[in-house]
Amino acid sequence: MNSTSGATRHLDGFEATVKDFWASRPRRPAQGRKVAGVAAGVGMRYGIDPIVIRVALVALTFFGGVGPAVYLLGWLFLPAADDEVSAFEGLLGHGASGTSKGLTLLLCAACFPAFGLAFGGTWLDGGGIVGLALVVTALYLMHRGRGHLNRPVSRAASATAPQSGTRVDTATTDWDALGANPLGWHLADPSTPVPAPPPEEPERPSQERSRRRCASKVTLVTLALAVITAGVTATVLDPVWGASQVAGATLAVLAGGLLVGAFTGGARGLIWFALPTAAVAVLTSPWPVGGYSGGLGEIRETPRNERQLDHTYALTAGSINVDLTELADVGRVVAVEASVGTGDITFTVPRDADVTYDCKARTGTATCLDKSQSGMTDVNLVGSDNGADGGQRFHLTLDAGVGNVEVRRDG
């Protein structure tokens, strides 16, 4: 790699930038890679910590689903460090690539479900187009601002240079060891006094300490802004924003700090704060605005009459277990609601009961009599199941944020 070649190159307009990006696109290194070296190649090309690229790809995977598609495109169109062309170009016969044609075809086939995940709507409801636009914009801006760094050496240029050990013919009349016109040589006059060498410049102090100070400042300032953002959004916007929105705003601040730290040479410690924040944002994304009330604990009841029955059960975290098999028949539909933020909900009904249900496990499994669904979803599991004639009638509305929901019959 050459860190100075093309440093003065000026790119005029969008088209010139795109052409120069393709001509000097990143190469996937053999060392420092985790999977195919896409993130490592982009980071090395533009002088950015590869961890930042990997965090961005993970974030794009959760928010929009475009992360796997972008990585596959990088695998296909970014050549390896020792290859002439990329894997896709090698498949078309445009040069030699170390990636086998079988693997290249497999990567091409994997692009279809990857792009289907991004643009077909995920459990976080899309955002693939926005995510892809952010990737293109980020690459464009990085190449405009840092495209002169670490430009790959052209294989054609390296091929024309004489190889080490190549014999040079010195018998020809046009051979010149100095590569210059001998008539233009200016040899020093021995009688001319040699001037004293200029005094050596004092060694410049290392900038490593200042870079560390800048990085530590970025970390501290980012953490302070993240705490302030979380506190303000959780208190001021409490009726409007839920836990996922608060976590998302906090994650955006941490991501900004990571981006600044990538250019100042530090702030990698923010990753350990960004990862759990991203996990909270993902896990709570299906939760309703306002969250779940009721506190912590366990509810376990077997009511025998309607006075002992609470028609509404709620917990922020814990478990709710209600057995309705011993409830006396009241001659009408008995409606019961139950909700838990983190935990399980279990209702047991008599064998002959007529049950209609509206169940939802936003992150987990909902099994309500004859129906079941699992995963991360905001879709309700609605249905009815009639027992033998003459049984009681129940209408159950059950909602778990992270956990399981179950409605089962006695025995």
Q: What is the pLDDT of residues 200-224, one digit of tens each?
A: 655 555 555 555 555 567 778 888 8
- pLDDT bracket for residue 398 (50, 70, 90): very high
**Residue 35 within any structural domain of the chain:** yes
Judgement on whether residues 146 and 46 belong to the same structural domain of the protein:
yes
DSSP state of 205: P
Judgement on whether residues 220 and 314 belong to the same structural domain of the protein:
no
pTM: 0.44
**Residue 201 within any structural domain of the chain:** no
**Residue 202 within any structural domain of the chain:** no
CA dihedral in degrees (183, 187, 192, 198; nearest 10)?
Answer: 130
Mean predicted confidence (pLDDT) in 112-130: 60
**Residue 289 within any structural domain of the chain:** no
Judgement on whether residues 143 and 35 belong to the same structural domain of the protein:
yes
- pLDDT for residue 135 is more than 50: yes
- pLDDT for residue 10 is more than 80: no
- 150-197: per-residue pLDDT in tens? 887 655 445 444 555 555 555 555 455 555 555 555 555 566 666 666
Q: Which residue has the higher pLDDT, 263 or 293?
A: 293
**Do 339 and 313 contact (CB within 8 A), yes or no?**
yes
- With tokens 């779940």, the residue in question is 292
Structure tokens belonging to residue 379: 């879709």
- Report residue 215 CA to chain centroid gap: 23
**Residue 398 within any structural domain of the chain:** yes
Mean predicted confidence (pLDDT) in 126-131: 64
**Residue 188 within any structural domain of the chain:** no
Q: What percent of the chain has pLDDT over 90?
A: 12
Judgement on whether residues 260 and 317 belong to the same structural domain of the protein:
no
Q: How many domains does the chain have?
A: 3
Judgement on whether residues 382 and 326 belong to the same structural domain of the protein:
yes
pLDDT at position 338 is: 93
Judgement on whether residues 346 and 376 belong to the same structural domain of the protein:
yes
Alpha helices by DSSP H, 85-207: 87-91, 101-119, 128-146, 155-160
- pLDDT for residue 393 is more than 60: yes
Range of the domain at 268: 209-283
pLDDT at position 355 is: 92
**Residue 162 within any structural domain of the chain:** no
- pLDDT for residue 358 is more than 60: yes
Q: Which residue has the higher pLDDT, 253 or 154?
A: 253
pLDDT at position 123 is: 39
Judgement on whether residues 301 and 383 belong to the same structural domain of the protein:
yes
- 101-112: per-residue pLDDT in tens? 888 888 888 887
Judgement on whether residues 274 and 357 belong to the same structural domain of the protein:
no
Average pLDDT, rounded, for the chain: 76
Judgement on whether residues 43 and 123 belong to the same structural domain of the protein:
yes
**Residue 342 within any structural domain of the chain:** yes
